[in-house]
Amino acid sequence: MHTLSEQNICFIGAGSMSEAIVRGLIQLDSMNPKQITMINRGNQERLLELNLAYGVSYSQDEEQRKQTISGADIIVLAMKPKDAADAIRMYHTSLRTNQLIISVIAGLSIPSIEKLVGHSLSIVRSMPNTSSTIGLGATGISYSQQTTLVQQKLARDIFESIGIVCEVEEAALDIVTGVSGSGPAYIYYIMEAMIAGGISGGLDATAARLLTVQTVLGAANMVLQTKESPADLRKKVTSPGGTTQAALELMSANDVAEHISNAVLRAAERAGELGTAIADQIDANITN
């Protein structure tokens, strides 16, 4: 079974990222919603909501859940980080060695998953971002050694249904978190400031927002379509002695670029801290 259309997929966790992936998969002409089953222990109303919206199946009682997990070809771990260890331990006896496990849980490493399960598996660890909910996501993925080339392609196909995919070594997923995982918030922060500046200068809120949103959209598409670097495009916009140069000189004097770079690194550092905390908690629970 080499294509997604041949796979039975089980989502453990039914939050916004699970829904984004489900929506992306169902938009593929070859994917049957009945091949997708949702599991969410704490909120049955949410499962019914997803069933009505997308036609996916769901498992309600414990025995159904275990059977669904055992029968799935691909299992997506999408529960909250604080619930991950207990959920994986609860269902690990239902896992089969030929299944593909995909985790979208921040901070949960491949070795930690293997430790919870008790043996090596085909595991894909991913870091998607919130833009996945509109099909414009950026996802970093890495693979365990047991993951076959076929399974790697299946994982790429899943995340390409909600955006672009970048394959990295697992150690680089923390910096992926810093760049793209947390990245949308940096852009929103800058947009907030641009809108506030427009309003301070005399624009009404509607005009300031409209101009800012279109400017950011246009700038991103300029980089994509021209394939030029942001630095080269910036230089083309910056006339000597002009308005853009005046603004950029002020940013440079206040080390704005350095602060943004440091923010990316701090987010990556925090991702590492969270991952270490999860690993320590798992070790403590296993020891006890």
Give 258's contacts (C-beta < 8 A, 6+ positions apart): none
User: Which element (helix H / strand E) includes 140?
Assistant: strand 137-143
Please tell me whether residues 124 and 185 are part of one structural domain: no
When pLDDT is cut at 50, 70 and 90, the band that residue 86 belongs to is: confident
Q: Residue 288 above 70 pLDDT?
A: no
Please tell me whether residues 156 and 231 are part of one structural domain: no
Residue 21 placed within a domain: yes
Give 182's contacts (C-beta < 8 A, 6+ positions apart): 129, 264, 267
Give long-range contacts, CB 8 A cutoff, 24+ apart: 40-47: 40/13, 40/14, 41/65, 41/87, 43/14, 46/14, 47/14
pLDDT, tens digit, 9 for 90 and up, residues 240-263: 999 999 999 999 999 999 999 999
Q: Which of 58-67, 133-142, 214-223 has the lowest mean pLDDT?
A: 58-67
Please tell me whether residues 78 and 25 are part of one structural domain: yes
Count up the domains in the chain and report the number.
Answer: 2
Please tell me whether residues 55 and 84 are part of one structural domain: yes
Got the DSSP string for 15-82? Answer: SHHHHHHHHHHHTSTT--GGGEEEE-TT-HHHHHHHHHHH--EE--SHHHHHHHHHH-SEEEE-S-HH
Residue 244's pLDDT is 97
Please tell me whether residues 110 and 191 are part of one structural domain: no
When pLDDT is cut at 50, 70 and 90, the band that residue 216 belongs to is: very high
Please tell me whether residues 161 and 211 are part of one structural domain: no
> Which of 139, 173, 207 is the last residue in one of the domains?
173
Please tell me whether residues 53 and 162 are part of one structural domain: yes
> Which of 173, 199, 218 is the last residue in one of the domains?
173
Domain that holds residue 29: 4-173
* Number of residues assigned to the chain: 288
Report the pLDDT averaged over residues 194-219.
Answer: 98
Percent of the chain having pLDDT more than 70? 99
Integer Cα distance of 28 and 37 in angstroms: 17
Residue 3's pLDDT is 87
Residue 282 placed within a domain: no
